[in-house]
Chains A and B, each alone.
Chain A
């Protein structure tokens, strides 16, 4: 078990290292002068020269990379080209806002999808199951920004103006102090991940409901509620937990579009703004952070899978 963990973590670290190479290669090792790319064409020669020195652009690509990585490992993510702020300061609060959004969405989406999956499985092959099955399958395909805009059309325009279409948060304020603005972006993320989790839960639950011990429990005359929630669900929940972890990883990228739709002040909006401004240091930092979260959560999902699957647990020893 520990051997598997160590191997998996080392592989994760290797992947992270290679991710940093890709981010660096894509943004800084460009043909042409990266200082001009960062500062823009109208930059004064003095500023270009200063940035060239700061980023070690006159040195080899390898030495540029080691300087860059060294700075990042020391928590120095550079200076934003657009705002002239330290990148860490610029994205710190936004990172917290995004984390809050993902957390709220996950806390609602996971129990909701599991309940929905159980409901579909219990109603198997009845009209409600068919409608929900096709409905979730369709919803799974719709891009998250389209879901977000549909929610705005339904809930935040003249049709029924119940929620704000734009997630305005006063500067210096955190998202959790303005809960109203979190509702629509969170609802979008919830609608985006619920189909995946509930469909897996349904499939797993259908299988468990056909098993002998469920029949046995029913023959013993236990009430339906007890059979489902005490006997079936605990045995069917493992695949749903795995897929929930994968969906959590997906949300690291999913927040990008969703935040942009609602102008929610998180890392997603920051990333799209930075791409628009060609603010390379911010893009580098955010791409690294999102990829790191994605890798770590995926690793967590793998570890959970092994921990909850006895067959794999012994095989991994």
Chain B
């Protein structure tokens, strides 16, 4: 999303609140006028509703043994049959979204928050602080995210808080680069110089003057990192580095059921579809927003 650096110019900090609100409304309308955003929004809403309210609809507890192992769909009143040890596939699927979504959202908040602070600090202070922060970012970006996660799981063992933290930390340098790129130009603008001249505290300049001007790239980063978080966290749960059986989780379900896929495909098909749809939805929506933000800047 290298293009997102320009978007920051769209919402000038000097604009009064009413005007800024209007600009947001224009941006929302421009986002929703595109088919990709509409499709994305529908998918995201449906998947999030399933993840949050699914457990309320589940006919059985996720870990209860309700049938003979691997009974086919429709038998014993089980919509999608039972898994390898006789648990209801449909109930486990309805329970399995909360964990993925919750962990992904938490790691996105950590990663984007950390990246935002690092990026703004590097852009504002410049000089050696910028240099040091960016070099440290380079080192963490020298590991593919999955490898950094596995390295720390090897050291500390599989653990949910650790996974959330590592995935967040592995996002941070990537977010920081984008935010720094967007904020660097803002630091040269007159209203920042003016704020400095009247002696506003640095903290207020960073969060009061710079932050409101990087909101579009920040939102794009949130969407992008959420998409990647879902994939990474589902993957880590899938390989057994995060949540452990018998917890009902989409990633765990895929790994539990994939060897029996020829006799009981639903245990794999449902969570695979769910993860795919969720990531597709968040990405379509993010792309729609990013396009709308760039379009606004060009004055289209």
Chain A residues engaging chain B, CB cutoff 8 angstroms: 11, 14-16, 18-19, 22-23, 26-27, 30, 37, 130, 134, 137-146, 149-150, 152-153, 157-158, 165, 250, 252-254, 256-257, 260, 271-272, 274-276, 278-280, 283, 286-287, 290-291, 294-295, 298
Contacts and interface: CB of A to CB of B under 8 A. Distances in A.
Contacts of B35: 130, 134
Given A143-B275, A276-B240, A152 B261 contact: yes
Interface of B: 35-36, 39, 135, 138-140, 142-147, 150-155, 157, 227, 230-232, 234-235, 238-241, 254, 258, 261-262, 265, 268-269, 272, 275-276, 279-280, 282-284, 287
Contacts of B157: 278
28 contacts: A16-B142, A22-B140, A23-B151, A26-B155, A27-B154, A30-B155, A137-B283, A139-B280, A141-B227, A143-B234, A146-B234, A146-B276, A149-B254, A150-B272, A153-B268, A153-B269, A250-B144, A253-B145, A257-B146, A260-B239, A275-B153, A275-B241, A279-B154, A283-B151, A291-B147, A294-B144, A295-B142, A298-B142
Contacts of A27: 151, 154-155
A98 B40 CA distance: 35
Contacts of A295: 142
Contact of A287 (B140, B151, B254, B261): B151
Contacts of A279: 154
A94 to B, nearest CB: 15
Which of A23, A134, A144, A298 has the most chain B CB atoms inside 10 A of its CB?
Answer: A134
A253 B284 contact: no
Contacts of B36: 134, 137
* Across the A-B interface, the 10 shortest Cβ-Cβ residue pairs: A253-B144, A143-B231, A141-B283, A138-B280, A141-B279, A283-B154, A18-B139, A275-B154, A287-B151, A142-B276
A143 B269 contact: no
Contacts of B241: 275
A274 B154 contact: yes
Contacts of A252: 144
A295 B140 CA distance: 11
Contact of B275 (A26, A146, A157): A146
A286 B240 CA distance: 19
A170 to B, nearest CB: 21
B268 A142 contact: no
A294 B139 CA distance: 11
Nearest to A268: B146
Contacts of B265: 153, 157
Nearest to A252: B144
A291 B142 contact: yes
B146 A141 contact: no
A146 B272 contact: yes
Contacts of B230: 143
B89 to A, nearest CB: 15
A34 B279 CA distance: 39
The majority secondary structure among interface residues of chain A is: helix
A138 B283 contact: yes
A238 B206 CA distance: 37
A287 B150 contact: yes
A26 B280 CA distance: 34
A51 B163 CA distance: 30
Residue from A158, A252, A275 with most neighbouring chain B CB atoms (10 Å): A275
B272 A153 contact: yes
A145 B238 contact: yes
Given A149-B254, A290-B144, A256 B234 contact: no
B210 to A, nearest CB: 27
Given A22-B143, A141-B282, 9 more contacts: A11-B138, A19-B139, A27-B154, A30-B155, A138-B283, A141-B283, A143-B275, A149-B272, A291-B143
Contacts of A290: 143-144, 147
Contacts of B145: 253
Contacts of B238: 145
Contacts of A14: 135
Nearest to B278: A141
Nearest to B227: A141
Contacts of A153: 261, 265, 268-269, 272
A245 to B, nearest CB: 15
B139 A157 contact: no
Nearest to A27: B155
Contact of A158 (B234, B239, B262): B262
A140 B157 CA distance: 30
